[in-house]
Structure 1
Amino acid sequence: MTELLPLLAEPGQPETLYRALQEETRRLVGHRLFTLLYVDGTDVARVWSSHPAEYPTSGRKQMTETPWGTHVLAGGQPYLGRDVAGIRWAFPDHALIESMGLGSVINLPVRYDGQTIGTCNLLDAEHAYDEAALAKVLPLAPLLVPAFVEARRARS
């Protein structure tokens, strides 16, 4: 993680950081889909996507009043969905996720000042992730705090 910290000073933010984080998580645990969402009221708003055709950066979802939202957004806990059942439990758009050959997920809450302000999301084939994979990427989430604080400030 410390090797990514200097990137926060580089020009072209937040895209510079988003690209580097996408590559670092790919190196650490792999993924077929990488998205970043910030919390905007009762919605989450997508600010980065490795697959913009299927998951455009203009996308929004109402996730705060779901079991996943209670766990990740309100509870501030990461979510590890190891299989298709875990995807179906968490996401109303599970059919699109499954159609892309994705069957496991890691959602990392990005926390600031006692609240979840966004999530970093990695998806891959079924059974691609386990507790060890989650532990490898969990420390990266705080790097997104400045970008998500700025995204929230820009919307107001």
Structure 2
Amino acid sequence: MMDFTQALAAKGQPDRTFEALARLVQDTIGAKLFTTMVIDRDRNVARRNFTNMPEAYPVSGEKPRNKDRWADIVEGQHETFVANSIEEIAAVFPDHELIRSLGCESCINVPVTIDGQVIGTLNCLHEAGHYTPERAEAANALKLPGAVAFLLHEKYNGGA
């Protein structure tokens, strides 16, 4: 299995890099469900550009950008959002029933920031209580590989 750097150099971009990013996420903090969302400010939506569960969360799915607690933390403060119960998830995500049906009751959303602006998020979901403070701290190591994946996506897909 190739590591992130090898995946970056491989043909088949940006897919190979996103797949390597998913393995890196799994090795670093764990995730049953892993997606990435790129922010499209022109259309005021976040669009999925990678998923490890395409049946439940297909690539190119979109969500409107809301002005809520999650947006304040992730887009406003550029901080990682953690919810360790389905109740906390339900308070900010309307798709909480689907999330729970996939065996996930905790999430961590890691903002990827370039040039002072959040360009997207790494979204990791797992069993209740999974995202401990130690895992949240470890998630910071995913920001640079996430930025590389997002920049490759932009290069190969002509923008957001």
My pick for the range that moved more, 141-150 or 7-16, is: 141-150
Does structure 1 conserve the Cα–Cα contact (< 8 Å) formed by 2:14 and 2:153?
Answer: no
Report the Cα distance in structure 2 between the residues aligned to 1:66 and 1:80, rounded to whole angstroms. Answer: 15
**Could you list the runs of 5+ residues in structure 1 that have no partner in the other structure?**
none
Does structure 2 conserve the Cα–Cα contact (< 8 Å) formed by 1:81 and 1:106?
Answer: yes
SS at match of 1:54: coil
Q: Report what 2:115 is aligned to.
A: 113
Report the Cα distance in structure 2 between the residues aligned to 1:100 and 1:20, rounded to whole angstroms. Answer: 22
Report the Cα distance in structure 2 between the residues aligned to 1:20 and 1:60, rounded to whole angstroms. Answer: 23
Q: Report what 1:24 is aligned to.
A: 24
Shift of 1:43: 0.9
Aligned Cα RMSD in Å? 1.8
Deviations 1:60-116 (A, max 9, x none): 001342321121122211011111122112212111111212100011000000010
Shift of 1:131: 0.8
SS at match of 2:91: helix
**Could you list the runs of 5+ residues in structure 2 that have no partner in the other structure?**
none
| TM-score, length basis structure 1 | 0.89
| TM-score, length basis structure 2 | 0.87
Does structure 2 conserve the Cα–Cα contact (< 8 Å) formed by 1:64 and 1:73?
Answer: no
Report the Cα distance in structure 1 between the residues aligned to 2:30 and 2:72, rounded to whole angstroms. Answer: 26
1:8 aligns with 2:8: yes
Q: Report what 2:149 is aligned to.
A: 147
Report the Cα distance in structure 2 between the residues aligned to 1:29 and 1:145, rounded to whole angstroms. Answer: 17
Q: How many residues align?
A: 154
Q: Report what 1:38 is aligned to.
A: 38
User: How is 1:46-61 mapped onto 2 (pairs within 5 angstroms)?
Assistant: 46-61=48-63
1:69 aligns with 2:71: yes
AA at the equivalent of 1:23: R
Percent identity (aligned): 31
Report the Cα distance in structure 2 between the residues aligned to 1:87 and 1:107, rounded to whole angstroms. Answer: 11
